[in-house]
Amino acid sequence: MGSESRHSSPARAGSQPVSEKDTDQHQPSMPFAASDDEKSHTDVPVDPNGVHHPSMVPDPDGKRELREWECWDKLAYSWPKWKKAMYLASIAGIQISMNFNTSVYPSAVNPVAEHFGISAQAARVGQMIYLVFYSFGCELWAPWSEEFGRWPILQLSMFLINIWEIPCSVAPNFGTIVVCRALGGLSTAGGSVTLGLIADMYEPETQHWPLCFIVLSSTIGTSIGGVIGGPIERYLTWQWNFWIQLIFGVVVQAVHFFMPESRATILIDREAKRRRETGEDPNVYGPNELKKPRISLKEAGKIWLRPFEMFIREPIVLLLSLLSGFSDALIFTFLEAFNVTFPNNFGFGTLEVAWAFIPINASYFFTYFLYWPWFWRDDHLRKKNGPDWMTPERRLKPLLLLALFEPIGLFGFAWTCMGPPQTHWIAPMIFSFLVGLANFAIYYSSVDYMRDEGQVLEEVAASAWGL
């Protein structure tokens, strides 16, 4: 999202005080009003705060672009709290569902291997192929949500994900599962789109609260499958692993279907069209309506290359992405390793292995609430020192401490996973809790920094981070 759409509001659009005379002349319904002195040397329009907007000058055929400050009450920033909360809840459901598809499959590895007569290692290809194509899927989907809006992109993504679950559920051979898992991963828009939704509704100084909530839902999705997958494997056939993914996906897609669009440029286009149809302003057009052509082949290539370009032009995005990618890989490694470590070394059954994932899920909730004191302190200092007091780099400070728990957790897990009589089963679970704590911190702090860094597009940065 451009800097104006993310960092501006009518209350903060101008830096100079507006006189009473100017206030009378510069009303939102009269964007081209100007004083006699101004008219004598310029026809550039001004907003209600006295700020000049040269880009609002009509083009030769009389068309002009509708700006955010002229229709602020129509944008997602102005939604009431209950509407934002409802929207966030639906997005949280989407995040959990999409990541649940990645975390529940390992519980189907042994049943699938037995059914198709293949090795367990070969059956794990279904997990590998999904994650690899998922990484490219978030790259391909995210930039298009900037151009066409969040709602259609998420709906199309979820529709395709759900479609590819059906062949997996009735697969006559393992090859069908591999192909459809790959297509399902490629169809997944993931957090690269859902994280951009937060910037649609909240201004930078208030985004950390909803962002942390969405990160919680995303991390829970990557680990809750380990807990739920155990009972599925124990009491149901392997086909139900995919049917449950489909049921979950259909439910969250149905809920999201009734959610409104939040992308600012799309809402401005709709408001401009409404004003033309009602005769309120027959010459006003939205930003996308004035783009000719809307999308060219050259521009489409640029849109897809944006995330990869950021790896070169924004080293911090590359470094944070590598750190987060390594941390997430540990969680997916645990999903596979627990099925080997705890049965072989501690004698766990299928259900006991599922309960072994509970500490990781608990660590995510713990770290979510652990960030609250930082939020309260930053909010207090921001009110005291002004909205520009906090630099983006300051958002990485909690990570400097919490990231240390990742190597501690890894070493501890390695030293305590040998089983009795050397160690009790609770010991490796404690250290997996520490790995989960660090994983949440790396995820949240990385995304929080990138969305606050005003030089990058949040959706593109998030998709680059997703890869």
- For residue 310, the domain's CATH number is 1.20.1250.20
Q: Average pLDDT of 273-277? A: 91
The residue count for the chain? 467
pLDDT at 4 over 50: no
Q: Average pLDDT of 126-130? A: 94
Q: Is the Cβ–Cβ distance between 451 and 443 less than 8 Å?
A: no
- Please report whether residue 428 resides in a domain: yes
Query: Mean pLDDT for the chain?
Result: 83
Neighbours of 413 (CB within 10 A): 22
- Please report whether residue 202 resides in a domain: yes
pLDDT at 421 over 90: no
For 57, residues 6+ apart whose C-beta sits below 8 A from its C-beta are 43, 44, 45, 64
- Please report whether residue 268 resides in a domain: no
Give the 3-state DSSP-derived string for 169-209, with helices as H, strands as E and coil as C: HCCCCHHHHHHHHHHHHHCCCCHHHHHHHHHHHCCHHHCHH
- Please report whether residue 36 resides in a domain: no
Q: Which residue range forms the structural domain that includes residue 442?
A: 80-263+297-466
- The span from the CA of 130 to the CA of 115, in Å, is 20
- Please report whether residue 416 resides in a domain: yes
Number of domains in the chain: 1
Q: Is the Cβ–Cβ distance between 241 and 108 less than 8 Å?
A: yes
Q: Which long-range contacts (CB under 8 A, 24 or more apart) does 27-30 make?
A: 28/69, 28/70
Neighbours of 88 (CB within 10 A): 21
- Please report whether residue 285 resides in a domain: no
- Please report whether residue 41 resides in a domain: no
- Please report whether residue 29 resides in a domain: no
pLDDT at 106 over 70: yes
Surface-to-core class of residue 72, CB atoms within 10 Å of its CB (0-12 exposed, 13-18 middle, 19+ buried): middle
- The span from the CA of 130 to the CA of 98, in Å, is 11
Q: Which is nearest to 66 in space by CA: 319, 306, 288, 262?
A: 288
Q: Which is nearest to 10 in space by CA: 84, 81, 67?
A: 67
Tens digits of per-residue pLDDT, 136-147? 887 788 778 878
Q: What is the pTM of this model?
A: 0.82
Band (pLDDT 50/70/90 cuts) for residue 102 is: very high
